[in-house]
Amino acid sequence: MTSPKKGYQNRTEILQGTLDMLILQTLQWAPRHGYALSKALRTNSGEILKVDTGSLYPALHRLERKGWIAAEWKASEVGPKLRVYRLTKSGRKQLVSERSRWERITMAIAGIMNPGKEES
């Protein structure tokens, strides 16, 4: 159960937070529908990250609820109507802060994992 009053609770869970950041990052350049997004995540990560749809759609709807992305139904030339997500202004801001947080964490982790490099 997510309550709007409690703020962005997933911050502490790195994986969850990372997924949100990845979605925002992927939507940065162009609006995409869910399937395209999952494909893009997979391709861009060199097939390493395979996002479970059971995580993707909840994340999308959660981000939509936060107002970081917006959705719109669009008719596609190939068949079904598609729900297309795009980044909003506040989403862009969120991406920036997520990104700096992520960089801090990765640097910190890198520092722990490679102590020698720090000293040199």
Partner 1 sequence: MRFPFWRRGRRNEELSEEMRAHLTLAEREAMEAGQSQKEAQHAARREFGNVGVAEEVTRDAWGWRWIAEAFEDVRYGLRNMLRTPGFTAVTILTLALGIGANTAIFSVVNTVLFRALPYRDAGRLVWATNFVPGQAQNLVFADEYAGYKTENHMFENIAAYSAVAEYTLTGTGTPERLRGAQVTESFLNVLGVTPQLGRNFLPEEDRPVGSKAVLLSNAVWRANFSADPNVLGKVIALDDTPYTVVGVLRPDFEFLDNSPADVLVPFQLADTSIEYLKNGQVRGRIQPLSVVARLRPGSTVAGVVSELNAINKRVIESLPGNLKQLLGEAQAQVFLLHDHEVGNVRPALLVLLGAVGFVLLVACANVANLQLARAAGREKEVAIRGALGAGRWRLARLLLTESSAIALAGGVAGLMLAAWVIGVIHRSAPANIPHLQGARLDLRVLVFTLGVSLLTGILFGLAPVLAAFRVSLNNTLKEGGSQSGTGAGTRRAQRVLMVAEIALSFVLFIGAGLLMKSFYQLTAIQPGFDPYGVLTARVALPLDQYQSIDQQRSFFQQLVERLQGLPGVASAGATASIPLRGNMMMISTIQIEGQAPMDQATMNAATASINAVTPGYFAALRVPLVEGRFLDARDGADAPHSVVVNQAFVRRFFEKEDPIGKRFNAGMGPVTRGPQSWTIVGVIGDTKQQGLASEVLPEATASALQWPRLMMTLALRTSVEPLSLVSAVRKQVSELDKNLPVYAVQTMEDVLSAEVASQRFNAGALAGFAGLAVLLAGVGIYGVMAYAVSQGTREMGVRIALGAETGNVLRMILGQGLRLAVTGVALGLAASFGLTRLMSGLLFGVKPSDPETFVLVTAALLVVALAACWIPAWRATRVDPVIALRYE
In the bound state with partner 1, the residue whose beta carbon lies nearer, of 1 and 15, is 1
Binding site for partner 1 (CB under 8 A): 1-4, 33-36, 38, 52-54, 57-62, 65, 70-71, 73, 78-83
Q: Measured between alpha carbons, how far is 54 from 38 in angstroms, rounded to an integer?
A: 11
Tokens of 116: 């020698």
In the bound state with partner 1, the residue whose beta carbon lies nearer, of 53 and 100, is 53
* Apex 54 CA angle, 48 and 57, nearest 5: 95
In the bound state with partner 1, the residue whose beta carbon lies nearer, of 22 and 59, is 59
In the bound state with partner 1, the residue whose beta carbon lies nearer, of 66 and 101, is 66
Q: C-beta of 66: minimal distance to partner 1 in Å?
A: 10
Q: Letter for the amino acid at 68?
A: W
Q: C-beta of 34: minimal distance to partner 1 in Å?
A: 5
Phi-psi region of 7 (alpha: psi -120 to 50; beta: other; left: phi over 0): left
Q: C-beta of 38: minimal distance to partner 1 in Å?
A: 8
Q: C-beta of 77: minimal distance to partner 1 in Å?
A: 12
- Please answer whether residues 82 and 110 qualify as being in contact, where contact means their C-beta atoms are separated by less than 8 angstroms: no
SS3 call for 85: strand
